[in-house]
Amino acid sequence: MATPLVQPLTRAIQIGETVYHVTMHPDRVAIRQKGRRSSVEVSWSELLAFEHRMQAPVAPATTPEGKPRSVSRGILNEVAQQLRAATEFLSKADDTLTQAGALPAALMAQAAVDPRHGQVDHEHHWFVEPLLTLTEVASILRVTPRAVQRLGLRTIRIGGEDRYQQSVIREYLRQQEVPASRYGR
């Protein structure tokens, strides 16, 4: 299961000695050299069709004034590779987080260095998992809210309302698992 891209995601990549900022939007990718304002934008459909265009002879890209564009095919190829790698990494991270319910140590070791403090936060509790309301838990478990309250699950009180951690719900469900043979199957 992949995480949908709903807000722009920006990452810096270094190609040779030059640093570029790549911003992935839901409909396009923008690439700009660090310190510059102008960027080159490519829609996702253009990026996916890039391989087909590479096989056909193409005239050099130019601006309306007739000057050649500043981003070469080599840079675009490297950016496309970086995007594929980032997509694969994000997919793996999403799967790991979904299964674990918290940020595992293996993923923390791969986390980027904090630009403000210069080091990765190795605290085990820095990841705050989304909290669920009583109604959401009842909907997930397909029971009434009153039945959820009777389960005696641990809650966190925020703003006068109880919230349930996803990891607590997962642990409860694991404890309730029964082997299939118990039902004569």
Q: What is the structure's pLDDT at 67?
A: 63
Q: What is the structure's pLDDT at 134?
A: 92
For residue 172, is pLDDT > 70?
Answer: yes
Q: What is the structure's pLDDT at 25?
A: 83
CA distances from 185 to 173, 180, 182 (A): 21, 6, 7
Over residues 130-164, the pLDDT tens digits come to 889 999 999 989 999 999 999 999 999 988 989 99
Element (H, E) at 167: helix 166-176
Portion of the chain with pLDDT greater than 90, in percent: 14
For residue 86, is pLDDT > 70?
Answer: yes
**Across all residues in the chain, what is the average pLDDT?**
76
The first and second tokens of residue 106, run together, are 């293996």
Over residues 15-67, the pLDDT tens digits come to 888 888 888 888 888 888 888 888 888 777 777 776 666 655 545 556 666 66
CA distance 105 to 122: 8
CB 62 within 8 A of CB 69: yes
What is the 8-class DSSP label of residue 117? Answer: T
Q: What is the structure's pLDDT at 61?
A: 56
